[in-house]
Amino acid sequence: MAGEKPVKAKRLTEMSHCAGCAAKLKAGDLARVLGGLKTAAPPQALVGFTTSDDAAVYQLAPGLAVVETVDFFPPIVDDPFQFGAIAAANALSDIWAMGAKPLFALNLVCFPDELPLKVLQKILAGGQSKADEAGIPILGGHSIRDPEPKYGMAVTGVVHPKKVFTNAGAKPGDVLILTKPVGTGIATTAIKRGLASKSLQKRVTAQMATLNKAAGEVFASGAFKVHALTDVTGYGLLGHLLEMMTGAKTKALLDLERIPLIAEVPALAEGGVVPGGTKTNLAHVKSKVRFPEGLPEHIQWLLADAQTNGGLLASVPARHALKAVQALEKAGVDASLIGEVQAGRPGIDVVG
């Protein structure tokens, strides 16, 4: 009717109760639920629930295993194309974290009636762009109506059964290598609140949409030994590193000064711009982590920050560390040596 003001379209992040991988169930809650399930795994199931790994691995033949993963979440940015690209890159990451090669993907879509279909087209185009970059087709999918939009993928890959990387093989004397800076959870919370600079928005969006393909292929190349590999996502650096140490029955020494951080994020954390998922992550791991006396809480939040498509975290024999870092850098991956693995009760000692 004449005189009525047009209804302003909602931003995607306005429709999201929490952003990206921060939407994961609490680690403790998930462990309690899964602990109550009785599942019979056949000998062909090489990787399952046991160590909270990144994907399932099932052996099909003496030289062939299939790797299966699924990942989806609500909007983490407002641009539909970029949301689709980030969600797809995040889903693909689990395949490379297992040392595998992706074959194809299926789309997972939850979409509200109130948004125009052109928004969904852009989300799917963003996902397609990352599948194209990874060199795989999208062969189908499933969609439902949902008041909160969500997007992701189920991805199938293959690997030789004797070349599977898990998150549970770390050994005392290894060094820890991380391939992306941390801080995407805090940065995207700042974006949602209108507190992030344009440069930070551009930087963090590009990082989340960057495939872990190059790093994954370097780790799987066989040029050096890799004892354990995982990707850093919703449970933060501390959460995923603790899973790695728990699976290997070892402890980690984490060098605070060597951990790469996204610029501007420490100041935002100090100002209280911290997602709820990050605070939950810290509460979950705190009993197993020793921080330097007097370490400010906002620094602890940084280490527990819920990441979306974060970097790969590798446990590599110290004698191979230089070769690994050089190979990563040659492939265009910024790699940081952030700590080491020691004998001891599973946990993390933060120093520096």
Annotated active-site residue in 12, 18, 21, 321: 21
Q: Is 251 annotated as a binding residue?
A: no
Answer yes or no: is 255 a known binding residue.
Answer: no
Helix (H) or strand (E) holding 174: strand 174-178
24 belongs to an annotated ligand binding site:
yes
Per-domain residue ranges of the chain: 12-22+42-163, 174-351
Q: What is the pLDDT along the chain (352 residues), one digit of tens a residue?
A: 444 444 456 788 876 666 554 566 666 676 677 666 777 778 898 887 776 767 899 999 999 999 999 999 999 999 999 999 999 999 999 999 999 999 999 999 999 999 999 999 999 999 999 999 999 999 999 999 999 999 999 999 999 999 999 999 999 999 999 999 999 999 999 988 889 999 999 999 999 999 999 999 999 999 999 999 999 999 999 999 999 999 999 999 999 999 999 999 999 999 999 999 999 999 999 999 999 999 999 999 999 999 999 999 999 999 999 999 999 999 999 999 999 999 999 999 999 8
Q: Active site includes 110?
A: no
* Neighbouring C-beta atoms of residue 63, cutoff 10 Å: 10
d(CA 165, CA 100): 8
SS3 content of the chain, % helix, strand, coil (to 5): 40, 25, 35
Does the pTM exceed 0.85?
A: yes
113 is in an annotated binding site: no
Q: How far apart are CA 20 and CA 29, in angstroms?
A: 19
Domains 12-22+42-163 and 174-351 alike in fold: no
Top-level class of domain 12-22+42-163: alpha beta
Which residues make Cβ contacts (< 8 Å) with residue 32, sequence separation at least 6? none
CB 232 within 8 A of CB 184: no
CA distance 12 to 276: 19
Q: What are phi and psi of 324, to 5 degrees?
A: -65, -45
Q: Looking at domain 174-351, which CATH architecture does it have?
A: Alpha-Beta Complex (3.90)
Q: Give the residue ranges of DSSP H helices in 234-296.
A: 236-248, 265-270, 276-285
